[in-house]
Amino acid sequence: SFYIGGGSNPVSVLSGFQPEVLESAFNVRQLIE
């Protein structure tokens, strides 16, 4: 969950995850924001 807070470059961090994980993380970020 370290990437949810939005590091210096969250996109770069998320690029290491699988597509389905990336999508889930993106959805979670939208809920938080």
Angle (CA) 21 14 25, round 5°: 40
Sign of the C-alpha dihedral, residues 14, 3, 30, 28? positive
pLDDT at 29: 74
Name the 3-class secondary structure at 4: coil
DSSP alpha helix (H) spans, 1-33:
10-14, 19-32
**pLDDT of 1 higher than 50:** no
pTM above 0.75, yes or no: no
pLDDT at 10: 59
**pLDDT of 7 higher than 60:** no
Q: Report, as an integer, the average pLDDT of 17-27.
A: 70
